[in-house]
Structure 1
Amino acid sequence: MTIEVVDPHDLPRLLEWNAVLRDGYASGRSHVWSRSDEATRSQFHHPHPTRVSVLLMAEVAGVAVGAAEAHMRPGEPADVEIAVREDCRRRGVGRALLEAVRSALRGAATVMRAETSTEAGVAFARSAGLDVGTREIRQIVELPVPENRLAGRAGAPAGVEVLSWSGRCPDDVLDDWARLRSQMSAEVPSGELTRTLETADVEAVRRNEQRMSAQGYTLVRSLAREHGDAVGYTEILVSRADPEIGYQDDTFVEERARGRGIGRAMKVANLRQLMTVPESTASRILQTYTEPGNAPMLALNRSLGFEEADVLTVLEGPLG
Structure 2
Amino acid sequence: MNIRIRDVDPRDVAELLRWNGILRDGYATGRQKVWSRSDEATRLQFQNPHPTRRSVLLLAEIDEVPAGAAEAHVHAGEPADVEIAVLDAFRHRGIARALLHAVRKALRGTATMMRTETYCDAGVSFARSEGLRVGVRESRQVVDLPVSTKTIDRLPTALADVDIVSWVGACPDELLDDWARLRAHMSEDVPLGDLIRTAAPADVAAVRRNEERMSEQGYALVRSVARADGEAVGYTEILLSRPDPKIVLQDDTFVAQRVRGRGIGRALKVANLRRLMSLPESSDSRFLQTYTALTNAPMLALNRSVGFEEVDVLTILEGPLG
TM-score calculated relative to the size of structure 2: 0.98
* Alignment partner of 1:138 out of 120, 137, 140: 140
Report the Cα offset of residue 305 of structure 1. 1.1
1:134-173 aligned at under 5 Å gives the runs: 134-173=136-175
Query: Per the alignment, in what secondary structure is the counterpart of residue 252 of structure 1?
Result: strand
CA distance in 2 between counterparts of 1:150 and 1:275 reads: 10
Residue 76 of structure 1 corresponds to which residue in structure 2?
78
Residue 244 of structure 1 corresponds to which residue in structure 2?
246
Residue 177 of structure 2 corresponds to which residue in structure 1?
175
1:42-81 aligned at under 5 Å gives the runs: 42-81=44-83
CA distance in 1 between counterparts of 2:46 and 2:156 reads: 40
Alignment-mate amino acid for residue 58 of structure 1: A
The answer to whether the 8 Å contact 1:6/1:56 transfers is yes
Query: Per the alignment, in what secondary structure is the counterpart of residue 233 of structure 2?
Result: strand
Residue 126 of structure 1 corresponds to which residue in structure 2?
128
Query: Per the alignment, in what secondary structure is the counterpart of residue 141 of structure 2?
Result: strand
The answer to whether the 8 Å contact 1:244/1:284 transfers is yes
Superposition misfits of 4+ residues, deviation over 6 angstroms: none
Question: What's the RMSD between the two structures over aligned residues?
Answer: 0.9
The answer to whether the 8 Å contact 2:191/2:296 transfers is no
The answer to whether the 8 Å contact 1:116/1:312 transfers is yes
The answer on 1:307 being equivalent to 2:309 is: yes
Report the Cα offset of residue 306 of structure 1. 0.8
Structure 1 unaligned spans of 5+: none
1:216-231 aligned at under 5 Å gives the runs: 216-231=218-233
User: CA offsets per residue over residues 143-169 of structure 1, 9 Å max, x none?
Assistant: 011222211224342210000111111
Residue 10 of structure 1 corresponds to which residue in structure 2?
12
Alignment-mate amino acid for residue 144 of structure 1: P
CA distance in 2 between counterparts of 1:154 and 1:226 reads: 18
CA distance in 2 between counterparts of 1:309 and 1:291 reads: 14
CA distance in 2 between counterparts of 1:109 and 1:257 reads: 38
CA distance in 2 between counterparts of 1:13 and 1:52 reads: 19
User: CA offsets per residue over residues 273-305 of structure 1, 9 Å max, x none?
Assistant: 000111101000001000112111111111111
Query: Per the alignment, in what secondary structure is the counterpart of residue 75 of structure 1?
Result: coil
User: CA offsets per residue over residues 235-278 of structure 1, 9 Å max, x none?
Assistant: 00011010000000000000011000000000000000000111
Residue 273 of structure 2 corresponds to which residue in structure 1?
271
The answer to whether the 8 Å contact 1:154/1:268 transfers is no
The answer to whether the 8 Å contact 1:156/1:262 transfers is no
Residue 190 of structure 2 corresponds to which residue in structure 1?
188
Query: Per the alignment, in what secondary structure is the counterpart of residue 90 of structure 1?
Result: coil
Residue 282 of structure 2 corresponds to which residue in structure 1?
280
Structure 2 unaligned spans of 5+: none
CA distance in 2 between counterparts of 1:25 and 1:196 reads: 26
CA distance in 2 between counterparts of 1:225 and 1:302 reads: 24
Query: Per the alignment, in what secondary structure is the counterpart of residue 186 of structure 1?
Result: helix
CA distance in 2 between counterparts of 1:31 and 1:235 reads: 20
The answer to whether the 8 Å contact 1:156/1:162 transfers is no
Alignment-mate amino acid for residue 162 of structure 2: V
Report the Cα offset of residue 34 of structure 1. 1.3
Query: Per the alignment, in what secondary structure is the counterpart of residue 313 of structure 2?
Result: strand
